[in-house]
Structure 1
């Protein structure tokens, strides 16, 4: 992905030097080694905050110590800033040309270790997420290393896909989709709530595909192999893939983000069409 030397976003809230969590301690109660890794991996993309489990196992403890910001952290921050700036320009254009409205971009919170949000604590266990309570995206810069080493989803465009996916949730919020869907989920059965959650996430994948298509057309940032990186990331974070990698038999009724095939297909739909109307997962005959 071609991103160096381009404009960064001003909508970054950097909390990395404000202190964070310190990993350490020995796991107890049988949660350690592969078991601990499985909990973390599941937590990243299933929307489950497993921080209490890790804290109880000595995995993460609160600390007011100043965290070390490495060169890799700084490069990740610059990369995120440029990617966020790209989403701002693209969604401003999409809102104007396709939706006849004004796009108000989100703030992206960079942190390292642990921080707080209106949606709960953010840590390496929660992974990147969008909080509609304050309309901010939360991202631990160390997450990109986890993507590559533990989830098998390496590459800078895979990282950009993650940023674009979380921004897509803000797009849903701006359009009123997220509020309506979550209001329904609050009253629905667990099974129906999970089904709507899958629709939300697959639409965000589709919106991410729109971003990828327009980023290539507007900035010429997509290089050979980039789309494969994004599709591989979508595959690796499919609910079925994550459950298999955690040593479990996939349980479709528990899926909250969609299968690997679904996530790849909806990203591809957005990328091929570039049209918001093509991303209506809520009315689709087939998810």
Structure 2
């Protein structure tokens, strides 16, 4: 693959996600999500993430979600007493959906269309930054991602990442040999994605070309720490939070890690 710049990667990924946005409002599932968002106590957060957030004493605190997609998880924070104040995504198609969901939930959330590597100066700071599945793999520069994220936290603020375990990324469930590694865990080059991006496990044909990365867990934790974020906990899980095609890796006697949650806290003063 010819060398490609960070700006080219983020621009391509924005186009890929925007081209796929319409797939996420088709069918009964979107209608049900809109109806559910209008009900008190709405939440799509699973018990694991709910329990972790509940244990961080964040009631009444402000939150930003980075890579918020349609903001369904950001809106869900309100059910835990956390104030969902801002969602950031570079795909305008998903932010249009986010506005519909926020309106249904009667929440006034600032929805910012921006490249995380090129944010406006008035973003502000928050008590919680939330990152969930399908964000880090699209980031070409982990160190800069965590530096920017740290800047959006007040001193003592928390970063919670609930993501696909990077070890799962080396497997291809569509392969003839799905339990054999298909990719190198230590591959640093971007991987091309040409199919339309959806969550339903169906083949929606070709989409715009995007680029994603396998970031080993050690690189993620190191970049987090180097950005002045003290790691409080890192938990790895054998359950899937991926698309349905990854279900075949779950519930096995020899279980591989499939997801993880990393909780860190912004240092209140510079390190000596």
TM-score of the superposition, structure 1-length normalised? 0.27
TM-score of the superposition, structure 2-length normalised? 0.28
